Amino acid sequence: MGDEVTRWTVNVDSKTDIDLRTYLAQRGMKKGDLSKSIEEAVKWRLFDLTIEEARTAFVDIGATDLDALIDEAVSSARSG
């Protein structure tokens, strides 16, 4: 977590709560592990959604054109 934190109030299914707390307890849960697990899950979900948006945006582009775009982006990133 970063230096600044925001307190959330979230509602989850009871089974999900029990499953996560059991998982963490079996691995020596420490104070803050529940929050870290939630934050990590949110980050992964945001990453997944971003990747899905990118895939959707490029669905109509052929493989050759997509490779050229990727090569151009990589070259640009490496040069500056």
Give 5-43 pLDDT, tens digit per residue.
899 999 999 999 999 999 999 999 988 899 999 999 999
Cα angle: 39, vertex 44, 48; to 5 degrees: 150
Per-residue confidence band for 80, with pLDDT thresholds at 50, 70 and 90: confident
Contacts of 20 (CB under 8 A, 6+ apart): 34, 37
* The two three-digit tokens of residue 70, written as one number: 């990727």
The reported pLDDT for the residue numbered 1 is: 62
The reported pLDDT for the residue numbered 35 is: 93
* Rounded-to-integer distance, Cα 25 and Cα 31, Å: 11
